[in-house]
Amino acid sequence: MSSNVALEENQQALALLKADADQILQLIKVQMDNLTMPQCPLYEEVLDTQMYGLSREVDFAVRLKLINESTGKNILENLEKELSALHDAYQKHKESF
């Protein structure tokens, strides 16, 4: 019975982390759709704060052994790839003008 509870807690922790990551991804996608300047201080502040918060959540979940370290790294790396794509798209858009 306790292994079922632990598995359920692990799945719940992963679901919560993915939900938080999805919220950040939505922020990135809105910026990509509008090609709003990613160097905007307010945008950078919000995104940096969100990414930092998520990284702390991931660290906490790993320390509690709710998720493994590679799963946490994958969540953060996926967001970093999206952020990189946003910067690349903005640079291409900026160069076309």
- Closest by CA position to 25, among listed 57, 62, 54, 64: 54
Is residue 89 very low, low, confident or very high in pLDDT (cuts 50, 70, 90)? confident
Q: In this predicted structure, what is the pLDDT of residue 35?
A: 63
Region 70-78: what's the mean pLDDT?
A: 95
Q: In this predicted structure, what is the pLDDT of residue 37?
A: 57
Structural domain count, the chain: 1
For 21, list phi and psi in degrees, rounded to 5: -65, -40
List the CATH number of the domain containing 59. Answer: 1.10.287.750
- Closest by CA position to 20, among listed 75, 67, 64: 75
Q: What is the pTM of this model?
A: 0.78
For residue 58, give the DSSP letter.
H
Tokens of 93: 């858009």
pLDDT tens digits, 18-73:
999 999 988 888 777 776 555 567 777 888 899 999 999 999 999 999 999 999 99
Percent of the chain whose predicted confidence (pLDDT) is above 90:
49
Q: Which residues contact 53 (CB under 8 A, 6 or more apart)?
A: 20
The boundaries of the domain holding residue 88 are 2-95
